[in-house]
Amino acid sequence: MNEFEYDREQRAAQTASRGGLPTGSGLPSGGVESSAPVAGIVKPLPPEWFVPHETNAEMRWDTLRESCTGFHVPTERFFVRNHTSTPVIDPDTWRLTVTGDGLRGPAVRFGLAELRRLPVTSFSSAVECAGNGRSFFATQQGHGVPGTPWALGGIGVASWRGVRLAEVLRVAGLRPEAVDVMPVGLDPDYVTSDGRNLGHVRRPLPIGKALDDVLLAYEMNGEPLTPDHGAPVRLVVPGWVGIAWIKWVGTIEVAAEPLHSPWNTEFYRMFGPDYPREGGAPLAGQVVKSAFELARGAELAVGECHRLHGRSWSGAATIRQVEVSTDGGRGWQPARLLDRPDAGTWTRWSFDWRPAYPGPYTLLARAGDQEGNTQPRRSPNNREGYLFDAVVLHPVIVV
């Protein structure tokens, strides 16, 4: 059995046995301590696991290892990105309505039990906010941007189980003329800071992607979806920015002409001097990123061997290689990949380092994927701070 097979087994075991809070180190004695709750998020947000940002909760990378979480992020510690607040929906009375002129006939409604009777598909995939890494535009590129100041914890990988959107559209009677599909969330209307009510969170998806690999998921990590992650049903859109992964889906509009919403016109496009006035194309695929499972500013003992861990991912293709620099980017050495790279998820890696001298160091990790996408020194500046893919400087102190 090679290292990848070993890892795959661990991964399968983890999916099978998930549930409950991680035990062991990483938590203060007495269990999970709750931080100040984030308005609108239902689950507890212990400060060991999350950094709160307004209505959102960022996953902490530095405590991922201590609790032996493995390949998938347990649902309890998965990041949450809410435009408004988590609705708690009764799965027994919930209905999905599929409607629009992209269908041959009238609207079709599905209950949860009906969806569960359709062919089942499951796979692992990363959901990542388009703004993940946004704070580094300011700290590394001197380009301050509004919006949630994510470090790198606006991402999580879970196993998802559900029915293909293609199957549901087929049952609903899709016309060949259909071009766009718009899932609409059941969370409260989104009102901007200047008081405009933009209605329910919703974003059109081109029919090509909708019929390709998109899932209407009702399970995450082997359990029914939890309220914060879209119960009873959310979209899973492999490789695409998180906003495409609409949670709490109530309606799906299928149209024979292009659809628009503020989430594909006003937001989630690249804006700024380098882009057209109406913005670049609606954001679709995610970029390449890498993260250390280590605190920023961590103290490491001089002369000892440290096994550094991290993960790299790309929305476009499987990870091809990961390199680490311990001297601020002058020298690079390959990291050891711990997973067989797989499209749509992350690849874990490790790197052994024995620092010879005390003092401050800057660690860097950079990955490339099979399509030749890599991590540049600078990301394209854009007004909203989307798609930060540059190499992140990770300061540590050797003592």
For residues 197 and 261, the answer to whether their CB atoms sit within 8 Å is no
CA distance 51 to 295: 13
Q: Which of 2, 130, 26, 4 is nearest to 74 (CA)?
A: 26
Coil, helix or strand for 256?
coil
CB of 245 to ligand MTE, least distance (A): 5
Work out the number of other CB atoms within 10 angstroms of the CB of residue 227: 16
CB of 267 to ligand MTE, least distance (A): 9
CB of 127 to Mo ion, least distance (A): 8
The one of Mo ion, ligand MTE, none whose footprint includes residue 207, by CB under 5 to 8 A per kind, is none
The one of Mo ion, ligand MTE, none whose footprint includes residue 127, by CB under 5 to 8 A per kind, is ligand MTE
CA distance 238 to 214: 7
Shorter beta-carbon distance to ligand MTE: residue 78 or 353: 78
Residues with Cβ < 8 Å from 388, sequence gap 6 or more? 132, 133, 134, 136, 137, 287, 289, 379
For residues 312 and 365, the answer to whether their CB atoms sit within 8 Å is yes
CB of 240 to Mo ion, least distance (A): 11
Shorter beta-carbon distance to ligand MTE: residue 37 or 334: 37
Q: Which of 26, 86, 384, 17 is nearest to 231 (CA)?
A: 86
Distances (CA, A) of 261 to 163, 180, 185, 280: 25, 12, 12, 15
Please tell me the count of residues contacting Mo ion according to CB under 5 A. Answer: 4
CB of 356 to ligand MTE, least distance (A): 41
The one of ligand MTE, Mo ion, none whose footprint includes residue 74, by CB under 5 to 8 A per kind, is none
The one of ligand MTE, Mo ion, none whose footprint includes residue 317, by CB under 5 to 8 A per kind, is none
In the shown chain, the binding pattern of residues 68 to 107 toward Mo ion, with x for contact by CB under 5 A and - for none, equals -------------x--------------------------
Residue 88: is it exposed, middle or buried by C-beta count within 10 angstroms (0-12/13-18/19+)?
Answer: exposed
H helical segments located in 259-346: 262-265
Report the interface residues with ligand MTE, using CB under 6 A. Answer: 78-83, 127, 129, 156, 185, 187, 201, 229-230, 242-243, 245-248
Which of 22, 156, 238, 242: binder of Mo ion (CB under 5 A)?
242
The one of Mo ion, ligand MTE, none whose footprint includes residue 83, by CB under 5 to 8 A per kind, is ligand MTE
For residues 391 and 376, the answer to whether their CB atoms sit within 8 Å is yes
CA distance 344 to 139: 28
CA distance 115 to 61: 35
Beta-strand relationship, 394-398 and 298-300: parallel
CB of 39 to ligand MTE, least distance (A): 13
Shorter beta-carbon distance to ligand MTE: residue 41 or 364: 41
CB of 382 to ligand MTE, least distance (A): 16
CB of 129 to ligand MTE, least distance (A): 4
CB of 251 to ligand MTE, least distance (A): 11
The one of ligand MTE, Mo ion, none whose footprint includes residue 245, by CB under 5 to 8 A per kind, is ligand MTE
Q: Which of 263, 259, 251 is nearest to 180 (CA)?
A: 259
Residues with Cβ < 8 Å from 233, sequence gap 6 or more? 94, 96, 112, 115, 162, 216, 217, 218, 225, 248, 249
DSSP H or E stretch at residue 364: strand 359-369
CB of 180 to ligand MTE, least distance (A): 17
The one of Mo ion, ligand MTE, none whose footprint includes residue 60, by CB under 5 to 8 A per kind, is none
Shorter beta-carbon distance to ligand MTE: residue 134 or 394: 134
The piece of 57-65, 126-134, 157-165, 337-345 that touches Mo ion (CB under 5 A) is 126-134
Shorter beta-carbon distance to ligand MTE: residue 71 or 78: 78
Which of 129, 165, 255, 338: binder of Mo ion (CB under 5 A)?
129
Q: Is 155 among the residues that bind Mo ion (CB under 5 A)?
A: no
Establish how many alpha carbons lie within 13 A of residue 198's alpha carbon, considering only the half-sphere containing its beta carbon.
21
Shorter beta-carbon distance to ligand MTE: residue 184 or 396: 184
List interacting residues with Mo ion (CB under 5 A). Answer: 81, 129, 242-243
